[in-house]
Amino acid sequence: MAELLLISDDPARTARLARDLRDFEGSTIYDLYDDKPYPGPPRLIVSDVKALTSEALQRLRQVLERVRGQHVPYVCLLHDDGGRTRAYADLLGASSLLSAAAGAGALVDTLTGLLERAAPIPAAMQRYGEMAEQFLRKTFVPGRSVTPAEIEAGTKLVASAVEEVDIRSWVRAVRRFDDATHRHCMLVAGLSAAFGGILGLKAADRHHLVKAALLHDVGKMEIDPAILNKPGRLDDGEMAVMRTHAALGYAMLVGRGFDDTLLAVVRSHHEMLDGSGYPDGLAGRAIPDLVRLVTICDIFGALIERRPYRAPMPNAKAYDILVGMGGRLDTDLVRAFRPVANAF
């Protein structure tokens, strides 16, 4: 089964677009005018047809009728933003309309969002997801201090969701969150809950791990939203600002009832065993085990998340990157993380 089917009236033009969509494995370009056999059913469909003539519409309709399964998302790229073109796209049953001029980043974000919304989520996890969003909107608010009691409640919510349902459903639910920082915090917390279970940690230690993961990026509340939500890669100056979030988070929580092990995770989750991390350049034994655990979940979570400029990385590829970070990450813990990476 193709991951992504690109229907085109100009395969050379669409091939350039496909190169920017390479994170969608198994993409296929289908020439609308080639009359070759229809491809197998895809998980996603994009039509990149510049001239929506009556013949093109008829051919597009035929292709879609043959290859589009139930609930398969279909994005129609609009080369002409006129009302008639939009009406044609609606008649074709497009899930989403997007200007061809919007660029590959916008298309990646659109496709990823559609794919995630199409995935079924158990009713119990839907409820947990709704509660998690409510918790985040109430608790992680710029200019507002978080309390130990609030984080305790959020930790219980995450741990219960992963234990009572599963990590796969948690990831699907969290990926639907609109706020990127909220999405990441809950993704890392869920991964940590699953990791603690795989490691066989005692209930209290597993709970503490989830709590640390939930708090790890609290300092991002103090970062300019224009940087946090930039629809593209950060430049050097913006990255320097972003890297202040670890120290900012530590300053927000110190002296407010959070224990030193949690504070260490908030400040040091970007430290690397070889000393190449930030903000303090810690190395080796100076990096506690709890920090090492959250760091692995943090990196893996960032790799499999959707970003405005790229699709989520497949789990296997993301795990290979963790393995390739030997010397920077704890290799024994990375090896132990494999079942979590394979779980969804």
Walk along the chain (344 residues) and give the pLDDT tens digit of each residue.
Answer: 458 999 999 999 999 999 888 767 678 999 999 988 888 889 899 999 998 899 999 999 999 999 998 778 999 999 987 888 888 888 899 988 999 998 887 888 788 778 777 778 999 999 999 999 999 999 999 989 999 999 999 999 999 999 999 999 999 999 888 898 999 999 999 999 999 999 999 999 999 999 999 999 999 999 999 999 887 789 999 999 999 999 999 999 999 999 999 999 999 999 999 999 999 999 999 999 999 999 999 999 999 987 766 667 889 999 999 999 999 999 999 999 999 999 98
Total-model pTM? 0.75
Is residue 59 domain-shared with residue 41, that is, in the same domain?
yes
Asked if residue 300 and residue 263 are part of one domain, the reply reads yes
Query: What CATH number has the domain bearing residue 93?
Result: 3.40.50.2300
Strand, helix or coil at 230? coil
Whether 214 and 238 share a structural domain: yes
Last residue of a domain, one of 85, 101, 118: 118
Mark which of 118, 142, 174 sits at the end of a domain: 118
pLDDT given at position 173: 93
**159 and 222 together in one domain:** yes
Q: How far apart are CA 271 and CA 278, in angstroms?
A: 5
pLDDT at 308: 65
Domain boundary among 118, 138, 170: 118
**Are 241 and 333 members of one domain?**
yes
CATH number at residue 246: 1.10.3210.10
109, 131: one domain:
no
Q: What is the DSSP letter of 45?
A: E
CA–CA gap between residue 116 and residue 109 (Å, rounded): 11
Q: Do 187 and 290 reside in the same domain of the chain?
A: yes
Q: Are residues 139 and 278 in the same domain?
A: yes
One domain for residues 93 and 164: no
Q: Which residue range(s) make up the domain with 60?
A: 4-118
Same domain, 11 and 96: yes
Q: What is the pLDDT of residue 258?
A: 98
Q: Note the pLDDT of residue 25.
A: 67
pLDDT score for 1: 43
Number of H helices, E strands in the chain: 16, 5
Together in a domain, 111 and 127:
no
What per-residue confidence (pLDDT) applies to 299? 99
**329 SS3 class:** strand
DSSP conformational letter for 310: B
Number of domains in the chain: 2
Query: Could you give the CA distance from residue 173 to residue 178 in angstroms, rounded to a whole number?
Result: 11
Nearest-angstrom CA–CA distance, 288 and 292:
6
How many other C-beta atoms can be found within 10 angstroms of the C-beta atom of residue 27? 20
Token digits for 146? 């978080």
Verify that 33 and 148 share a domain, yes or no: no
